[in-house]
Amino acid sequence: MKERNLAVPAPQWEVVPGRPGAGPISNPLSWSTSPEGGEDQRESLPPLEFGRVLLRYKGTLLGILAFTLLVTAAISYWQTPIYRASVSLEIQGINENFLNLREVDPTATPISYTTDTYIQTQAEVLQDRALLDRVVARLSLDQRREFSSDTGLWRRIARLLRLPAPPPPTPAEQALAVARDNLRVVPTRQSRIIRMHYDSQDPQTAADFVNTLSEEFINYSLEARWTATTGTKAWLQDQLAGLRSRLEQSEQTLQSYASQHGLLLTGAKDSVAEEKLRQLQTELSRAEADRMARRSLYEVVARTGGSAVPTALDSPTLRDYQMRLTELRRQRAELEPLLKPENYKMVRLEAQIRELEAALRQEREQIVLRSKNEYDAALTRESQLTAAYARQSGLVSDQAVLAIRYSVLLRDVETNRQLYDAMLQRVKEAEIASAIRPSNIRLIGPASLPSAPYKPNLPLNLAIGAVGGWFLGCGAVVYRYRTRRRLETPGDTVSCLRLPELGTIPAARSAVPRSEGLRGMLGLDRSAGAVELITWQSKVSEMSESFRSTLLSILSARNGNPAPLTLVVTSPCAGEGKTTVTSNLAIAMAETGRRVLIVDADLRNPRLQEVFGVANSWGLSDLIGDDNSIDQLPASALARATQIPNLFLIPSGPGVENVPALLHAPRLAVLLKRFREEFDFVLVDAPPVLQFSDARIVARWTDGVVLVVRSNRTRTDAALEAARRLLLDSAPVLGTILNDWDPESKLDRYSYDRYGYYYRRRS
């Protein structure tokens, strides 16, 4: 026969890989170990599925939640009540440069010291042993029972094990250790507030401790600043006495030297001769500059004969002559084309032009003469200043030797005076600062007596226990769901196997009697059972419609490729309904008018001959073991027609001893090729994957594999192992079919109520 193409139109939807309706995937087992991940890569549960899982295992969830609440309540009941007292201190920014004391105090805080660092430092001071010792001594805490308990963990362990332990601490040290353990100092972010909390079994002790600690901290700060200021003042006074003696001695030396050599000074540094020499030098520089400027101007005027007068010498009279001459020349140029030279207008214009040109030449000559006179005057002034400067320079040179020594003495006096004045100022400021005792710590409010225990907080503990119990219960439920031993509801194969779920077949209770339906689904019924043929015998039923829907998923599984022609239907283990699924899928396909062939490849436990009522004296084992050419076999010798139109069957045939060797024969591939030419759709019923290798051998020559699992029977690990083995053979696994699912279960009843109601009304 000519090969025919199965033209069943597929629905137009987007196929998502790894979901029902997707095509065969090269690596469906994303849960398997990979080089990149190395761990279990299962996808997370979607919210709807997660809710269904929690509802399914609600007993476990509620039990864990109740247990955690009970444990939390018991722990809270047996805890010793602890009271907490709190105070807040404001750490104000102190001016450590008050009266410029930062410049003389070597222990002053650097300018780069930030506020956050300062607040943190004060918080550490509050927990220092020296400050806590003062509080312990003031409140006599070493005499109270609460502070006398041994808190050393090592000493407790040594006491229990009767080992040599370190010497016990003194009562004061023990009280200090207890106080430090119960004290909490918390600097507040983005503020200058430090909060102190103290926990104690006695509310009065808690309040007294934080109040006393606040007072001692303020007093400690005042004492530290007063000590530092007093020490600075004493050191400054000693330095001031030495500077006063040095200043007096240097002033006497300076006065004696000036009187002895007759030096006349106008200021603190310069003499009269030096001041006059400086003035002469300034005037001489100006005279030289003026002479050079006038000389250059004169040379320009003399070289051009006065025709090119610089702008600096251009007088208003000269500019007026030039403007008038230009205007007359313009008028003459305008009249020349119109009038003759003898015309009186032309004669008058020529006379005016000659007159202005003469006046212009005379004015230029005056400018040249004036420039020469100014240059001569500047030259004379420069010569006189040069002579005066030379005389004054000689005088200053004579006094230079004496002025050098005088300058040295003068600088010594000025240095000593500056040091003395600065030190005197610091002494006065230190006296004022020592009289002031500033405190930058302010107690916002004293701690009040706690009215209720701080711990245990029963509502908070119960809330924490409830949250912890909820997460622990959810984790236990998810773990139980992930590690459960059986597949149960639709979607389990998707989440556990990461394979598309092609369809869900409901249980046979609604179609046939309960005992007969179960026997048929388990493969125990050796006669023509109603379940295997329900799609033909009960065309309008939930089961028949589920098989038709599953067939559509199979045909649509290879989106973008031709529909599968040859499929292997198998299961992980026996008794999961693969034969029932195979027969009903074949019936649903035959109803569309296509020629469908069922091949019973279960040579060890065949059943299809009983379902369709044919003899098993000849079948697949004969076709593979026959020596005749397959291409020469007539169509009637390949398959047997059944009572269902368009549906044909090849039974398993007589049993053989070595089934894998028979299936490994190359003749099987040729046989399946002939089946493709004669039939539109071929379904191969193969033995379970885990018990036998037959399905894996046949799958190499087919277009796809469908794995049948049974609800509440197929173990998860068995399904995983079956899919893994098919993957190792590179078999194109189209997906799974969940068989014998009970839609009347309380978790899934709602989704099928309308479906069942529809068929009840039709019936």
Query: In this predicted model, what pLDDT tens digit does every residue of 92-109 receive, in sequence order?
Result: 765 555 555 555 555 555
pLDDT at 173: 82
What integer pLDDT is reported at residue 647 of this predicted model? Answer: 94
Cβ pair 581, 569 in contact under 8 A: yes
Average pLDDT of the segment spanning 216-240? 76
pTM for the full predicted model: 0.45
456 upstream amide cis, omega within 30 of 0: yes
pLDDT above 70 (res 86): yes
Give the span between the Cα atoms of 92 and 443, in whole angstroms: 11
**Model confidence band, residue 645 (pLDDT cutoffs 50, 70, 90):** very high
Residue 602 CA: distances (Å) to CA of 446, 641, 687 = 90, 19, 5
Mean pLDDT value across the chain: 76
Listed in sequence order, the residues at least 6 apart from 476 whose beta carbon sits closer than 8 Å to its beta carbon are: 60, 61, 64
Position 585 scores a pLDDT of: 94
User: According to the model, what pLDDT value does residue 595 have?
Assistant: 92
Both tokens of 400, joined, read 């230079």
**What's the maximum distance between 2 C-alpha atoms anywhere in the chain?**
156
pLDDT of residue 438: 62
Helix segments in 488-602, DSSP class H: 492-497, 514-522, 534-537, 542-557, 578-590
pLDDT of residue 15: 31
Q: What's the pLDDT score for residue 119?
A: 83
pLDDT per residue as tens digits for the range 413-424: 788 788 778 777
At residue 519, does pLDDT exceed 50?
no
- Is residue 210 within 8 Å of residue 86, measured between CB atoms? yes
From residue 217, how far is each of 230, 343, 358, 439 by CA, in Å?
A: 20, 119, 105, 10
Q: Which helix (H) or strand (E) holds 737?
A: strand 733-741
pLDDT-derived band at 1, boundaries 50, 70, 90: very low
Q: 550-585, pLDDT tens digit by residue?
A: 999 888 876 656 666 899 999 999 989 999 999 999
> What pLDDT score was predicted for residue 458?
80
- Residue 25 predicted with pLDDT over 60: no
| Residues sharing a CB contact under 8 Å with residue 39, sequence separation 6 or more, in sequence order | 33
**Between 342 and 467, where is the model more confident?**
467
Has residue 235 got a pLDDT over 60?
Answer: yes
Residue 323 has pLDDT above 60, yes or no: yes
Nearest to 178 by CA among 208, 160, 199: 199
pLDDT, tens digit, for every residue of 688-722? 999 999 999 999 889 899 999 998 888 888 888 99
Residue 225 has pLDDT above 90, yes or no: no
CA distance 216 to 235: 29
Residue 131 has pLDDT above 50, yes or no: yes
CA 15 distance to own-chain centroid: 34
Residue 284 has pLDDT above 80, yes or no: no
How far apart, in Å, do the first and last CA atoms of the chain sit? 42
Distance, CA of 643 to chain centre? 68
CB 28 within 8 A of CB 583: no
Q: Is the pLDDT of residue 151 over 80?
A: no
Give me the mean pLDDT over the 372-401 stretch: 75
Q: Residue 429 in contact with residue 99, Cβ under 8 Å?
A: yes
What's the angle, vertex CA 392, arms to CA 390 and CA 397, rounded to 5? 95
The percentage of the chain sitting over the pLDDT mark of 70, rounded to a whole number, equals 75
